Amino acid sequence: MSAPENARAPLIGITTYGRDEKGRFALPVEYVDAVRRAGGVPVLLPPGEACVAELIERFDGFVLSGGGDVDPARYGGDAADPRVERVDAERDAFELALAKAVVERRVPALSICRGCQVMNVALGGTLHAHLPDAVGEAIAHRPAADDGDERLRHPVAVEGGSRLAALMGTMRPSPVSWHHQAPDRVAPVLRVAAHADDGTVEALELPEHPWLVAVQWHPEMSAAEDAEQQRIFDGLVAAARERRSAGRE
């Protein structure tokens, strides 16, 4: 006899990168591994899906993954800025719609790097299109293009009383960082949950939502050996399981 639907492992939809030059969709395996370690079943969601409402009904939680820059035209910025990288109109449209839907339908969601930026824009915020213009270069938020170091880290200060602090069990993690943009004007409904020492907004939460966390860093890149970062995925999957058990009310 099969297990009752609500007893099954929660389904976690993970957005993928856009189409590459060969027409393929891809995503680093670390996202999948982190969800699996947390007890969820990961399912990759490529850009271009029009039936966002159906996804919301089928899945118990979501991860909005990292990637290229959000088009500044989406938040009133300078779309002609030559420093904006890897803009993908198809991906922007899909993920902005998905971000709005998880908020409206109160579905657990973890937004990572680009995903954090997408969530802020979807809810009415803006971005620093080129972060060094706003905070300088005292802290490197991503590796130099020629050094190949995928594990650049810097400390962040987590706000006391935040969901993120409770999840990680620390107020001063040093996670892996790799981002070019960051929230500028934070959407009114969101709350800042962490800063870098240079003032960069590093995490956002939605207090009125059952479980919505957005981080600028990449927890998936160190979660295999870093329990603090894995606990973020554990929290997402636990919230998704609770939603499934409650009948997705």
pLDDT on residue 2:
45
Pairing type for strands 109-112 and 61-64 reads parallel
- The sign one gets for the Cα dihedral 38, 43, 46, 49 is negative
Residue 225 near residue 231 (C-beta atoms within 8 A):
no
> If you average pLDDT over residues 207-232, what whole number do you get?
96
End-to-end CA distance of the chain: 26
d(CA 238, CA 242) in angstroms, rounded, equals 6
Range(s) of the domain holding residue 154:
5-245
Total domain count for the chain?
1
DSSP helix/strand/coil, 109:
strand
DSSP state of 74: G
Percentage of the chain beyond pLDDT 90 is 66
> What is the spatial order of strands in the sheet that 191-196 belongs to?
41-45, 11-15, 61-64, 109-112, 212-215, 201-205, 191-196, 156-158
Q: Which tens digits make up the pLDDT trace of 179-207?
A: 788 899 999 999 999 999 988 899 999 99
CATH number at residue 90: 3.40.50.880
In the predicted model, is pLDDT for residue 86 greater than 50? yes
In the predicted model, is pLDDT for residue 148 greater than 60? no
d(CA 33, CA 160) in angstroms, rounded, equals 29
Compare 7 and 149 and report the one with higher pLDDT. Answer: 7
DSSP helix/strand/coil, 155:
coil
In the predicted model, is pLDDT for residue 133 greater than 60? yes
Chain-centroid distance of CA 158 in Å reads 17
> If you average pLDDT over residues 215-242, what whole number do you get?
97
230 phi and psi angles, rounded to 5 deg: -65, -35
Q: Which residues are catalytic?
A: 113, 218, 220
pTM of the full structure: 0.91
Of the listed ranges 76-80, 105-109, 112-116, 138-142, the least confidently predicted one is 138-142
pLDDT on residue 134:
60
Q: Give bridge partners of residue 176 from the DSSP assignment.
A: 153
The vertex-217 CA angle with 216 and 218, nearest 5°, equals 130
Compare 59 and 86 and report the one with higher pLDDT. Answer: 59
Beta strands in 127-229 (DSSP E): 127-128, 156-158, 182-183, 191-196, 201-205, 212-215
Which position has the token pair 């409770």? 166
